[in-house]
Structure 1
Amino acid sequence: MITSSVILGTLRFPGYAAEGWSFKSLTDWWGQTEDKTERTERPQGHGAFTPVRSLRASRAISVEVNYLGRSQADVEDAFDTLSAIGADGPVLMTVETPAGASWRIVTVEKVTPLNHKGGARRGFAAVDLIAHDPRRYRSGEWLSTPPPSPGQGRTWPSVRPLIWPGGGSSGRVELVNDGKAPSAPVFRLGGAFASALITCVGTGARVGLDRPVPAGSFVEIDFSTRRAMLDGLSDVSRWLRFREWTEVPGLTSRTYQFDATSPDGAVMQGMVNHAWW
């Protein structure tokens, strides 16, 4: 039994359907794209100089789909619906398999009807897409922490067995990437505070926000786009400081420290998507 499905925007294409949409083939969803790093040949030696790192090109994806309707008009209407997907900008593409679902943001480059026959109740089309970020993702979990604060402490003398009081906060979240490709985290800083600082504990890399955020508002800092948005509406990237962007490598984790000045109910939420090539 075929259990895979392709979802493009609002349209779902199962691997098999007795009526409606289904997909016939999916090309280049998995695998690796080419390395676009320029190579400089050694003028007086064999081969080329070894690059410091590899940079991957965008990914071209192709899906062949078909539609089984009740009439030719039914098929043409379905193709009109397909042609509207992604016409105005990037869309979410998800592939579901027995191993789990993964997604990419893609642009629809072209929708080409194939083997169209007048009066036919079945129509075929090729959908060509580009994923400008070649990685595929599985959504991660949001974790939250307030700024660091001391605990209640232990009073002496005490009677055994000792019970240590709680309270306090480390001001840290540990973000885990279960994938095999590096992935950039996202942070949401909720007010109120006067300024904030996010520090990667393992590397010391910092990203700061030198702007007050009132209670009831939040700033989202996306390490992949390297921008900050206030309440999802206003770009406040000009108030970012240090800009020492980091990623969470595959099959590992990174711990991030949250510090804020004049905090009043301030909280940091952090999330990283699991990523694969």
Structure 2
Amino acid sequence: MPIALIFGLLVGSFLNVVIHRVPLGQSIVFPPSHCPECEAQIKPWDNIPILSFLWLRGKCRGCGTSISLRYPAVELLTGLLFAAVAWRFGPTWWTTTYCLFAAALVAAAMIDHDHQIIPDSISLGGLVASLLVVPAIQAHYGEVWLEALVRALIGALVGGGVLWFVAFLHARVSVAMGREFEHWPGEGEDIPRPGEADYWLWFPGLGLGDVKLLAMIGAVVGPAGVVDTILASSLVGLILGGAQAIARGALGRPFGFAPAIAIGTVAILFLPPFWLLRVL
């Protein structure tokens, strides 16, 4: 567990770079980490997770600009997640897989919170990696590889398909009831019509990023696990959305759903199958 915690802190430091740069289309490798205010390159000893933040008292060594508390928070969160996964699954390949899975969820959640987008490099990249890795690990532990692959594919289809159907139905019912939306995808202001390609992909208020993220999750946790995830995510999203509406007076305004999905997914890694249905 201590090794997992330390490794998680280091990965969390890297995730801060991913969260900041990927939505802006910037390289996560070059240039090296630097202060966004004075652009001074951050030295290795000033980039130690959490400790450097405390040593520098939350300020840049070069210009004294305050460093957001979110940087050490992401590092600590990732470290604790890695430690929890190591405690739950022990010295197995599942620990490595779920740690990387958790890291992808943290990045997706933070980016969606900031920008209301989930990069394809995380969702689709994670989906492809999951379809390759998860069946291989299950085969390593004695399962039939083809059966494991089919289960992962079904999980991906269930995860992405259920959310796609809900979003599609919500959009069409809303339009039929005369609701107007603030933004329209693609060019122009016309509502996509049946027979047009955009008709099947137009989801005001819920993007395809959430659909693709749940497809990735389904490939990892399987059909039953992704059903649990959807139920838990819906409950968490209701709570987070309500809290945001009360705190900011922003009832009805869009917000990123990926944080709720991430919380729901982490919960199902540690709880028994269909736990939420039993509670409800």
- TM class by shorter chain equals under 0.3
TM-score, structure 2 as length reference: 0.20
User: Which structure: greater strand fraction?
Assistant: 1
User: Which structure: greater helix fraction?
Assistant: 2
